[in-house]
Structure 1
Amino acid sequence: MSTGDHDDIKALLRDWMAALRAKDADGIIRCQSVTVRQFSLAPPLQETGNDTSSLQAWLDSWDGPLEFDIRDTDLRLGGDIAWCSALAWLSGIKNDGQKIGFWFRLTIAFAREDGRWLIVHIHESVPLAMEGQPLAIFDLQP
Structure 2
Amino acid sequence: MNDERSIRDLITRWADAVHTGNIDSVLAEHDSEIVMFDVPPPYRGIRGIDEYRGSWPPFFEFQRQGALFEIVELDVTAGDDVAFAWALLRCGTPEEFEKNPDNRLRLTIGLCKRDGRWVVTHEHHSFCLTD
TM-score (norm 1): 0.74
Which has a greater percent of strand?
A: 1
Q: Aligned residues, how many?
A: 123
2:100 maps to: none
* 1:38-53 matches, cutoff 5 A: 38-45=36-43, 46-51=45-50, 52-53=53-54
Structure 2 vs 1, CA of residues 54 and 104 (structure 1 numbering), >3 Å: closer, same or farther?
A: closer
Structure 2 vs 1, CA of residues 22 and 58 (structure 1 numbering), >3 Å: closer, same or farther?
A: same
Q: Which moved more, 1:48-57 or 1:14-23?
A: 48-57
Structure 2 vs 1, CA of residues 15 and 87 (structure 1 numbering), >3 Å: closer, same or farther?
A: same
Query: Residue 41 of structure 2 aligns to which amino acid in structure 1?
Result: P
RMSD of aligned residue pairs (Cα, Å): 2.2
Structure 2 vs 1, CA of residues 67 and 108 (structure 1 numbering), >3 Å: closer, same or farther?
A: same
Higher relative contact order (CA 8 A, sep 6+): 2
TM-score (norm 2): 0.79
Q: Report the Cα distance in structure 2 between the residues aligned to 1:92 and 1:114, rounded to whole angstroms.
A: 39
Q: Report the Cα distance in structure 1 between the residues aligned to 2:7 and 2:63, rounded to whole angstroms.
A: 28
Larger-gyration structure (1/2):
1
CA contact (8 A) 1:20 1:66 kept: no
Determine whether 1:30 maps to 2:28: yes
Q: Report the Cα distance in structure 2 between the residues aligned to 1:84 and 1:108, rounded to whole angstroms.
A: 5
SS in 1 for 2:49: coil
* 1:41-120 matches, cutoff 5 A: 41-45=39-43, 46-51=45-50, 52-64=53-65, 66-92=67-93, 99-101=95-97, 102-120=103-121
Which has a greater percent of helix?
A: 2
Stretches of 4+ aligned residues off by more than 3 angstroms: 99-102
Structure 2 vs 1, CA of residues 65 and 81 (structure 1 numbering), >3 Å: closer, same or farther?
A: farther
SS in 1 for 2:64: strand
SS in 1 for 2:104: strand
SS in 1 for 2:11: helix
1:137 maps to: 130
